[in-house]
Structure 1
Amino acid sequence: MGMVVETEEWVLTPLAYPLLSAASLAAVLLLPHFSRPHAAVVTPSSPSPFDVGTTPFLRFRRAFLLLFCLASVAEGIHSVFGEDEFVRCGFGREQMAARLAAATAAVLFLGGASGVVSDKLGPQNACIFYWMLQLAVGALKSFSGLRCAWVNNFILALASSMFSFCFETWIVLEHEKQGQNQDSLFDTFWLMTFFESISLVGSQGITNLLLDDDNKGILLPYTFAALVSVIGILYIRKAPSISTAHHASVIGSYQKSFFAHVLRGE
């Protein structure tokens, strides 16, 4: 006697995504309000991570968090499909493994050098380069004939490796430039982690709204990611630039350390 196993796919309703985002944001906004009497005893000058620092720094941090949210949305859209994207392209397991292994190998070589290149270019130019990589992937995947190309995996893997450090480097240098203390930096990283999580959840909801059942419907989220990349590039170019003289000196220290510790064995 044969046994039939029925599978039921569980999917959140589209209304659940804004509700989760609103609940998380309300928890962060209301926590300083309800904990203000206790915080005033311990640290009366900093009851909330939202109002610590000078006015120029707070203005920069709000703009930076908005830019970081856009980057997280673009990153989440490209990672939402996973194996389903390869299945839609008609790849088997061996081909999927080959694509993922090749992209990982490329990141091992290119990703290691991207940190040095980022120090040479400066944090803002490194972030612009990240947005250009996201724009290239979004533009290529917007066409059905180029959606399954090898170059998409390489570019996306390199962009993901740069995402992990280029924005963090920028905010750390801005903290040092404006003379902010270490607690303010910790609060900023906490806010970055929170807004990154919210943006990733929001990117899943945006993808579900733009996605259709047919194969052509999968192209709309990539077009939206390319549009977000264009907005990010235009937005970051308006930010005040940071001098790259310090980064040029860092390259010299890299060269001295490489010759001393690797070639000479000191």
Structure 2
Amino acid sequence: MEVFYYVVFGALAAIVAGLELGKSGKDRVATTSAFNSFKNNYVLVYSLMMSGDWLQGPYVYYLYSQYGFDKGDIGRLFIAGFGSSMLFGTIVGSLADKQGRKRACITYCISYILSCITKHSPEYRVLMIGRILGGIATSLLFSAFESWLVAEHNKRGFDPQWLSITFSKAIFLGNGLIAIVSGLFANLLAENLGFGPVAPFDAAACFLAIGMAVIMSSWSENYGDPSDSKDLMAQFKVAAKAIASGML
């Protein structure tokens, strides 16, 4: 049933993204071969990263239940993941700007691969570590890649209007078609081929490893503007105040 929901959600996302893509199709502009190569490279990497994320979704709860944990234990695992993402998300942007967006994207791959590996263990503490790593990875997924794209697009001198082309392609594939295919592929591995609920996580790790190899071999590093650099603790305090005010 969870796989069904993922497929339906992915189908709806694909329809919405396709409609948005169709709108921009009327106003297509001429682009260069250098931009098209850059765009296709990013879309490939983003699709691989998203497939690594989408493959895991339908079987996280099911895997924990198969290990014999009750709803309370599973709930705490999920809270740890969301909490890790919330806390790390307040500083991930600053860290990526200072240490490099490419490094941040590679860190996403490593963190999520390690999180996938922990799914082979029925030990609660190991699974908790995996959830924390997964939360860190989620923060990086929805910040570092887009930051790298925007900075690299501008650094290479491409037309600013072309940026929307890359985003629309990435969203259509990564959050639309990939979501559908990943849900079906995860179900094929776990149910039809009988590899069990850990198989989708192994497949996710493989896709992430492939994506990391592409990043390491074809992406250049970029950083944030040093003039906008602020003390990390100061930024963390500002982020903590923003979170606290949003909860009131």
| TM-score, normalised with respect to structure 1 | 0.72
Matched, 1:114 2:92: yes
**1:107, 1:157 within 8 Å by CA — same for their partners in 2?**
yes
Letter in 2 for 1:235: V
Q: Deviations over 1:51-76 (max 9, x none)?
A: x4322221011011011000010000
Change (3 A) 1:212 1:62: same
Matched, 1:226 2:202: no
Aligned to 1:6: none
Identity %: 22
**1:210, 1:221 within 8 Å by CA — same for their partners in 2?**
yes
Q: Deviations over 1:52-106 (max 9, x none)?
A: 4322221011011011000010000121224323321222222222222232222
Report deviation, 1:207: 0.2
Change (3 A) 1:180 1:220: same
Write 1 or 2 for the structure with the bigger share of helix: 2
Partners of 2:49 and 2:158 in 1: CA distance: 24
Deviates more, 1:61-70 or 1:178-187: 178-187
Matched, 1:249 2:215: no
| Unmatched segments (≥5 aa) in structure 1 | 1-8
Change (3 A) 1:171 1:209: same
Between structure 1 and structure 2, the one with the greater Rg is 1
Aligned to 2:244: none
Letter in 2 for 1:237: M
Map 1:1-266 onto structure 2 (within 5 A): 39=26, 46-47=28-29, 52-141=30-119, 143-145=120-122, 149-196=127-174, 197-212=176-191, 217-244=196-223, 247=224, 249=226, 253-255=229-231, 258=234
Q: Deviations over 1:236-256 (max 9, x none)?
A: 111141344xx3716x62229
Partners of 2:83 and 2:194 in 1: CA distance: 29
| Number of equivalences | 227
Letter in 2 for 1:225: A
